[in-house]
Amino acid sequence: MLNIKEIMNIIPHRSPFLLVDRIEEMEVGKRAVGKKCVTYNEPFFAGHFPQEPVMPGVLIIEALAQVGAVCCLSAEENKGKIGFLGGVNKAKFRGKVVPGDVLNLEVEMIRVKGPVGVGKGTATVDGKVVASGEITFMIG
């Protein structure tokens, strides 16, 4: 549904911190599904961990937050604004994400009031949940 260039027109993140390659499904302001194709060339693998590369859990949460930001900032009233991370609750990590994995990132808005909201995020690889949590955001 959205390619990398279209995503970059919505959120301000750029390499090496843009962690979403495409958006495959979206109900603007309600839910979105994105993908991150994880490669060995990701800069974080140089130090996490050279002998066994694993995507840091905080970056999986950030990838979910970016999918949520695309979902919210695609709404007409939020175009040109920035989404800021306000908090993370109930974060759980259940599996490793390694080079070659395709990270499926699904975010559903569970509460939105004005410029503040909460999205429930779930990250999967091959149908297996690897991370989940509730992400609080503010739009400014």
> Catalytic one among 24, 48, 84, 122?
48
> Smallest Cα–Cα separation from 137: which of 104, 109, 102?
109
| Ramachandran category for residue 80: left, alpha or beta (phi over 0 → left; psi -120 to 50 → alpha) | left
48 tagged catalytic: yes
Residues noted as catalytic: 48
